[in-house]
Structure 1
Amino acid sequence: MKTFKLTAFTLFSLFGMNAFSQTEAANKQLIRDGFDRWAAGTGSFFDLLAEDASWTISGSAALSKTYTSKQQLLDEVIVPLNELLTQKIVPTVREIYADGNTVIVIWDGKATAFNGDPYNVSYAWFMQLDKGKIVKVTAFLDTKDFDAIFEKAAKR
């Protein structure tokens, strides 16, 4: 009779990796659903943010910094940006990657600015999730075009 010795590594390999991939799949789906609702105009992606979420806009844009709450991000970035657009940003997801509780989305946003100029910006968002909520984001984007819409608005 052959006996098998189960080590902690073996158990993690058998069960832990499966649980990890389930978490990754669930996180990817949550984010995909959020983008789908946003694109369809049936919901706000930002509803997925925890109230105390940390959101960092990378780069050298005037708004590049870390926002320490959902409300601060909405008040200082999202609402002012939407007020400068005649049409809200419509996202098109190119790729979604997941690694444990981190989800990376590469996407393109298209809208029309108040002056008729197109607003076409590509983004990469690195998001950490906890219990179905986004708790931390680092956002990479074309800060030149992002800044331009705010600069033109200041001149009107």
Structure 2
Amino acid sequence: MDVTPSLSNTTEELIGKRQALFANLETPETIPRFFEGVADNVSWTLHGNHSLAGEYTSKQSFINQVINRLGPMMRNGLRFQINRLHVGSPVTVAEMESTSVGMDGAPYDQIYAWICTFENGTIVNVHAYVDSVAVIDFLRRNEG
């Protein structure tokens, strides 16, 4: 994972903490650990023109309506590859891609950019950008 360390208020300790947090997204077994670092009342906006897009006003609503909807459609579970972290304080940007395979056997060819605002080490606001066409195609092929 590449890291941009030159953003404001960045220390090696902060970079390490953010790397460790986002690394939890790489396997389905550790995704719950990532969400331990997300505030219960997070404001999470998933941008795009697809059925998952919208504003989620709690961690649980995002997990229920997005993570728990997509996860069962994956042969190998929901998995993210962290390509770059642009670490700053209070904002960290994660550039990621999916390494998941749908139940239909085709890769979930998705890219992500999450702009995460932290307060006291906890994510309190996320603006997440995804490829809408990839979401629509994946849901069409795997939801049923």
Please give the TM-score of this superposition, normalised by the length of structure 1: 0.77
Would the alpha carbon gap of residues 60 and 39 (structure 1) be closer, same or farther in structure 2, given more than 3 Å must change? same
Question: Which segments of 5 or more consecutive residues in structure 2 lack a partner in the other structure?
Answer: 1-7
Tell me, yes or no, if structure 1 residue 114 matches structure 2 residue 74. no
Equivalenced residues, count: 135
Q: Percent identity?
A: 21
| Residue range with higher mean Cα deviation, 120-129 or 27-36 | 27-36
Please tell me whether the aligned partners of residues 102 and 142 of structure 2 are also in contact (alpha carbons under 8 angstroms): no
The CA distance in 2 between the partners of 1:152 and 1:83, in whole Å, is: 13
Moved runs in structure 1, 4+ residues, more than 4 A? Answer: none
Structure-1 residue corresponding to 2:25: 38
Structure with the largest fraction of helix: 1
Distance 2:27 2:67 in 1: 18
Q: CA RMSD in A?
A: 2.0
**Residues in 1 aligned to 2:28 and 2:22: alpha-carbon distance in whole angstroms:** 10
Matched AA of 1:46: F
Indicate the structure (1 or 2) with the bigger Cα radius of gyration: 1
- Structure 2 vs 1, CA of residues 113 and 41 (structure 1 numbering), >3 Å: closer, same or farther? closer
State the structure with bigger RCO (CA 8 A, min sep 6), 1 or 2.
Answer: 2
Deviation (angstroms), 1:91: 2.0
Unaligned runs of 5+ in 1: 1-18
The amino acid of 2:72's aligned partner reads E
**Residue 28 of structure 2 corresponds to residue 28 of structure 1:** no
- Which secondary structure does the structure 1 equivalent of 2:30 belong to? coil
Query: Cα 1:152–1:51, aligned 2, differ >3 Å: closer, same or farther?
Result: same
Structure 2: distance between partners of 1:26 and 1:137: 22
Output the TM-score relative to the length of structure 2.
Answer: 0.83
Q: Secondary structure of the residue that 1:113 maps to in structure 2?
A: coil
Paired residues of 2:86 and 2:92 also in contact (CA < 8 A)? yes
Question: Residues 47 and 54 of structure 2 are in contact (CA less than 8 Å); yes or no, is this contact kept in structure 1?
Answer: yes
Query: Aligned partner of 1:82: which letter?
Result: G
Which residue does 2:3 correspond to in 1?
none
Contact persistence 2:27–2:77 (CA under 8 A): no
